[in-house]
Amino acid sequence: METKQITITKVVSTNFIMDLVSSFQNMVGTNLTPYEKMVSRGMSQIQKELEVELDWYRYEITQLTNGAVSITLYGEMLL
């Protein structure tokens, strides 16, 4: 049984204003909705680019700066 490995990476960021809002939310202790939206946007972009059904997959999210993350999807599909 052959498999093919798939890797897709997207880098997304928030704007300066939303970064300030997130800093305030972090001090108060509420959900960081701008960051949640940023991660959701990146994952949606990956799903749109993905053209095949994967047998299994994982997301890896790495913070690059205060307002930017790298989201990587990796997985395998059966051939």
Please report where in the chains the tokens 């993350």 appear, as a residue.
69
pLDDT at 62: 96
**Residues in contact with 3: Cβ distance below 8 Å, sequence separation at least 6, in sequence order:** 55, 76, 77, 78, 79
The predicted model scores a pTM of 0.81
Identify which has the larger pLDDT, 45 or 18: 45
User: How do residues 29-75 score in pLDDT, each as one tens digit?
Assistant: 888 888 899 999 999 999 999 988 999 999 999 999 888 999 999 99
Could you state, in order of their start, the residue ranges of all structural domains in the chain? 3-78
**Measuring CA to CA, how many Å separate 78 from each of 1, 4, 27, 50, 55?**
7, 6, 46, 15, 7
Q: Which of 71, 62, 65, 15 is nearest to 40 (CA)?
A: 71
CA count, 13 A, side-chain hemisphere, 45: 15
pLDDT at 57: 96
